[in-house]
A = this chain, B = another copy of it.
Amino acid sequence: MAGPEEKHENASPRSLPTISDVARHAGVSPMTVSRVLSGGHHVSAAMQRKVENSVRALGYRRNESARSLRPGHRSGLVGVVVTNLTNPYYAEVLDGIGEILGEENRRVVFGTSHEDFEEEARLVADFVGRQAEGLIVVPSGGSAEHLLPEQRHGVPLVFASRRQEGVDVDAVLVDDVRGAEEVTRLLLDEGHRRIAFMGNALSVFTGQRRYEGFERAHLAKGVPVLPDLVRRGQQDVHAAGLTAHELLALPEPPTAIFSANNRNMIGVIKALYDVGRERGVDMFARVRLAGFDTFDLEELVPGDLSIVTHDARELGRTAAELLLSRLQGKRVDRPSRTIELPSSIRTRRRGEAPLAQA
């Protein structure tokens, strides 16, 4: 594998300069360099300059790994695990997290679990091994076992968007149940009696909660939920599209579809568009849409659409702030808390679509 040489060359031929290199170059002791680097207090101006010049000359950067080895030192690292970065919703959450952590000069090691519990566990373990001081996780569901050691060691953890049973930590959630219930009620009040549900598996927190809201609205109205119209586990736009096609091909297709997240909604819309073209009919007039999460170009949907909206970036920010307050020791040993961010419902009617009035 390696070259013919005995001592297998490293990928980086030249290794990074150390504090000793700088010291040698400047003709001072490593300690003086260290002092200059950490603010330059109690160091003469002359030394300061010499050291600074050497630092520049060598392109020296303090080795954070070595630094964080010292007792009492912080790594400044936070581990973040999301389930699917391709969902603009989570990209927004991550951006919000980065915004707040960046202000404190902390960095993000980041990984995508792809809704895979094993991968999530691997990432969490790895991040802790890398001395991440805290974790923000969108749990994929399954269990909380992988988080128990971290808990015991006092590594602060915040759940974002979802929560996992079996471990008691801070969480930032959306009022899934209420949002789903209200928007479903809207459909029921409009007279819909065959409403499809497309969402995450029941093992996923939001999958459970949003379905619960969906169900509650039905119960309150005395309308049965139709099992045939409940579809779960579509992970991406493509899968959601296939499922929507199935629903639309039923002998008695739904008159409304509730998409419990962003990716499902996009898939449904694409399917309506496709089927409409195939059959030469306006499917958006036949199927009422409702769902969770905003998306680009909502206004172009040529039919009635109700969206349960909340601020994904704000959710990320809040999660980061919760974590920071623990990291700064403000809330150590205080009980965990869950923040439910408010959501609101936005409805756009068919008449507002651009071509309807053309």
Interface residues of A (CB under 8 A from B): 2-3, 9-17, 59, 61-66, 68-69, 72, 74-75, 77, 85-86, 88, 91-92, 94-95, 98, 102, 107-112, 125-131, 133, 148-150, 152-156, 237, 266, 269-270, 272-273, 276-277, 280-285, 295-297, 299-302, 326-329, 332-333, 352-358
Contact = CB atoms under 8 A, between A and B. Distances in A.
Contact of A16 (B11, B128, B280): B128
A300 to B, nearest CB: 4
Nearest to A297: B297
A323 to B, nearest CB: 10
B133 A64 contact: no
Given A94-B85, A112-B95, A11 B65 contact: no
A62 B153 contact: no
B354 A284 contact: yes
B107 A12 contact: no
Contact of A92 (B64, B86, B272, B333): B86
Contacts of A61: 125, 128-129, 149
A92 B153 CA distance: 35
B107 A108 contact: no
A45 to B, nearest CB: 24
B302 A354 contact: yes
22 contacts: A2-B329, A10-B329, A12-B153, A12-B156, A13-B332, A15-B154, A16-B131, A16-B155, A17-B153, A59-B153, A61-B149, A62-B129, A65-B66, A65-B69, A88-B296, A237-B296, A266-B297, A270-B299, A273-B354, A282-B354, A285-B358, A295-B297
Given A14-B152, A108-B109, A131 B64 contact: yes
- So how many copies of this chain end up in the complex? 2
Contact of A301 (B2, B77, B300): B300
Contacts of A11: 74, 133, 154, 156, 326-329, 332
Closest 3 interchain pairs by CB? A59-B149, A282-B358, A91-B91
Contacts of A352: 277
Contact of A126 (B2, B68, B107, B355): B107
B129 A112 contact: no
A12 B155 contact: yes
A131 B65 contact: yes
Given A65-B69, A85-B91, A88-B296, 5 more contacts: A11-B154, A16-B155, A61-B149, A108-B109, A296-B297
A284 to B, nearest CB: 7
Given A282-B355, A300-B301, A110 B112 contact: no
